[in-house]
Amino acid sequence: MTVQTTSFLEIRNIEALYGQAILAVRDVSLKVDEGKIVALLGANGAGKTTTLKAISNLLGPERGKISRGSIHLQGESVSGLSASRLVAKGVVQVLEGRHCFPHLTVEENILAGGFVRKPSRADLLSSLEQVYGWFPRLREKRNTKAGLTSGGEQQMVAIGRALMTKPRLVLLDEPSMGLAPIIVQEIFEIIRTLNTRSGVSFLLAEQNANLALKYADYGYILENGRVALSGTAEELRAREDVHDFYLGGVRAARVN
């Protein structure tokens, strides 16, 4: 007998539109089990950001919407739930491009994430200490205006701010974008530590499949708004076609 387990997050057959006609996501289904790192891979424009924004109901400001399908958290439908209600249920989004408040200090930026929970001052400060524990660099820069820090530090601030909500799942869009390889590795190592030590799950949109599959448990590859392939990170790494197209293999080189 097979025992049916409920995934922490499950997206079933979603379709997302911008305006009335631009079909950005056609039929995407995916799952994130508790405690896992799942990579959402694909080229520029494949639909990764749209999928992540659809989960947190963030398509509206871009005149986008989910036109079909459903989203479930621990088996319960959360389709249409606002981003802040979803945060209260343990799912937080870190948008592509880092989005810090440039005129606020690093510490003020991080603290901004904590207020969503309406915590006590002691709780807020202990969460802040925890974030500094994960990102020691941010403690050193705590009084620096976020706009004056490096791209890597701003990405850490954005993740740190999200961690202030005490999430169970972080939806993280393109953390490596525009960053030096050594900083990217530092950030991914922190993601792995957060996952293994604190059990935080991640749904990670990345163009850099090679990198993401080193850290992920499972991966989905999007092409033109559809899931073209999925499998364990090990399976995807071993597939020659994936290697050629997404991991910098022979054909990718030829196409380039």
Residues that bind ligand ATP (CB under 6 A): 18, 22, 24, 42, 44-50, 62, 96, 174, 207
Q: Least distance (Å) from ligand ATP to the CB of residue 16? A: 8
Q: Least distance (Å) from ligand ATP to the CB of residue 54? A: 9
Nearer to ligand ATP, 132 or 220 (CB): 220
Q: Least distance (Å) from ligand ATP to the CB of residue 84? A: 21
Q: Least distance (Å) from ligand ATP to the CB of residue 18? A: 3
Nearer to ligand ATP, 18 or 134 (CB): 18
Nearer to ligand ATP, 90 or 219 (CB): 219
Nearer to ligand ATP, 24 or 247 (CB): 24
Q: Least distance (Å) from ligand ATP to the CB of residue 120? A: 38
Nearer to ligand ATP, 41 or 92 (CB): 41
DSSP per-residue string spanning the chain: -PPPPPPSEEEEEEEEEETTTEEEEEEEEEEE-TT-EEEEE-STTSSHHHHHHHHTT--GGGTEEEEEEEEEETTEE-TT--HHHHHHTTEEEE-TT----TTSBHHHHHHHHHGGG---HHHHHHHHHHHHHH-HHHHHTTTSBGGGS-HHHHHHHHHHHHHTT--SEEEEE-TTTT--HHHHHHHHHHHHHHHHHH--EEEEEES-HHHHHHH-SEEEEEETTEEEEEEEHHHHHH-HHHHHHHSS-HHHHHH-
Q: Least distance (Å) from ligand ATP to the CB of residue 47? A: 4
Nearer to ligand ATP, 73 or 209 (CB): 209
